Amino acid sequence: MYTLSWKNPALNTNKAAGVQVPVGSVISNKASIRFTGKGAANYGQIQQENLMRLLENFADASAPLYPTVGQQWFDTSISTLKICTATEGGVKWRSIGGVQVTAAGVSAPTPAAIGDIWAQTTGTGSVVLYIYTGLGRFGGTSTTIGGWSQVYPIVEVVAGREEYDAMLSLVNQLIGPSANGGSNALGNLTPALSNLPALDTDYQTKFSGLSVKDVNVLTPVADPTTELTVDVTSQDWDLLLAAAKFAVSRLDLPAAMIDDISPIPFVYDGRQAPTALTSLPSTNVMYPSLERRSNRHFGIVTLIRAFTETMNVLTTALANRYSIKGINGSTGVNTSFAPNVTVTRQGSFTGAAAGATSGVCTLRFRWNTAAELNAFLFSGGAIQITATHVPGGSGTAADTTLKTLFDSRGVIRITADKTRFFSNTAPLTQSVPLTPAGISGTTSTSNIIASQTLGSETLEIGTAIATPTGNYIEVRFHFFGTGPSTNLNGTTTVAYDVIRDTSTYVSGANTLNAFPAPLAYSAADKISTSYIV
């Protein structure tokens, strides 16, 4: 048996013992060439083919199997000669000649040295060219820098990190975490944005480790590392602008406002729109515009105007962030809800007045957690109350007045920040100006957020939300008469509905609701009543 020893076994721990080649055998899984034992059949052909492989440098579109450090391979897919630099922790090939060439989508070459050049093909006949500076963003991840800086195509920045953060702040308040008042849609119903703060942390860590600070990166100040931020790319802007369009599309705003959101990013670096967006259906509001798909190059004057218009749209949207499309009924710019918005009955209660002068019905809406409650509210979810009154056989003047009140203002929609009264006819039309007060910020049902009076009858709406860690909303419907002859002899019905966005998203193998519904009604949810049972 032959025992073949490597020149330097320390290069790879799995080669320390050499290669054992038994008599008459052929070993083909220890290197990219085959080893023959004494007396192996057709050993001459095998040895000749080994020489051929060495002569052609294992020319192929895919890397040879079982390489060793120092082995060369001619990558026919990109016509580049490469050398194996490591096999521990994954095989690594490095282009020979200074310029590292990789196919589209292939990660950055490693190891890298300061001054190395990397050409990554785009798959369309061109390349993106990088130089290794040790502080560049490419080809990093959400938690690593990468170290490569783009040099071609030339990067042009009209709006950088400061402007990006300003726009991100508005988008976050619309569809970001509920802690910001957002709906939690960002990253669930929309593609996730780049984790720039994590990149900043890694960037600053590497910068702070340099004994001499690089003035090309940052002019030294009292605490330079806290000022370091990672520049955004065109694709970062693509994702943010797509999220902005999604956020605006949910609200009761004119559809044309979406057209005022910039169709192109504010950094030009020659990159195509990210696949997270181009893979969407062309009917999706986040699908890249024709200008972006063709990678059009606009001037600074046009882009400054586009940035200003985009910020104006988002500012307007922020003032209406809890008013989902259709919430204003036929009075709004969108006369109906989007297909993913449903109206679901939570409970309905009826009672005979039998001479009473007032009535009250309070219903509690519960969620599993306060976070779920906030996701409902901040997504534009609403509680809708529909009240009707039928005067009795010996109906009084108060019965007639109450019926008129409910007919004209008996449909009430309460969102996080507003209360709307509608006439009880189709199509729903707001009968009085909306009230700029809603569920959020209330503490008890004694806190009246809206009231309406017609003749001798008054209707009041009070709300309560458990704070700061509670998980329920209480809505109090109260009506009463003032003055003489306010006794009621009719029958009153009060129905509570939930208006919510039923959109779902996929997480792993699960399909989840983006905005959880309240728990099903139970008898204990009816907190207080007076004749309405």
Query: Are 63 and 119 in a shared domain?
Result: no
pLDDT of residue 476: 93
Listed residue (497, 464, 513) closest to 384, CA to CA? 497
* Global pTM value: 0.80
pLDDT of residue 395: 74
Query: Are 86 and 8 in a shared domain?
Result: yes
Burial (CB < 10 A; 0-12, 13-18, 19+), residue 352, is: middle
What confidence tens digit (pLDDT) does each residue in 217-253 have? 766 666 666 778 888 999 999 999 999 999 999 999 9
Residue 484 CA to residue 106 CA, distance in Å, equals 84
pLDDT of residue 81: 87
In a domain, 405, yes or no: yes
In a domain, 330, yes or no: no
Mean pLDDT of 356-372: 92
pLDDT of residue 464: 86
Q: pLDDT-derived band of residue 279, with 50, 70 and 90 as boundaries?
A: very high
Range of the domain at 105: 98-152+195-223
What confidence tens digit (pLDDT) does each residue in 178-216 have? 877 888 899 999 999 988 989 888 888 888 777 777 777
Query: Are 526 and 497 in a shared domain?
Result: yes
pLDDT of residue 223: 64
Q: pLDDT-derived band of residue 163, with 50, 70 and 90 as boundaries?
A: very high
Residue 495 has which token pair? Answer: 């129905």
Query: Are 107 and 10 in a shared domain?
Result: no
Query: Are 400 and 390 in a shared domain?
Result: yes
- pLDDT(111) > 70: yes
Mean pLDDT of 107-132: 86
Q: How many domains are contained in the chain?
A: 4
Residues 466/441, Cβ–Cβ less than 8 Å = no
- Strand pairing partners for 84? 93
pLDDT of residue 16: 75
Burial (CB < 10 A; 0-12, 13-18, 19+), residue 99, is: middle
What confidence tens digit (pLDDT) does each residue in 423-441 have? 999 899 999 999 999 998 7
pLDDT of residue 251: 96
Helix %, strand %, coil % of the chain (to 5): 25, 30, 45
Query: Are 507 and 403 in a shared domain?
Result: yes
pLDDT of residue 167: 97
Average pLDDT, the chain: 89
* Strand segments (E) across 243-394: 267-268, 341-352, 358-366, 382-390
Listed residue (430, 477, 428) closest to 451, CA to CA? 477
Helix, strand or coil for residue 229? coil
Residues 385/477, Cβ–Cβ less than 8 Å = yes
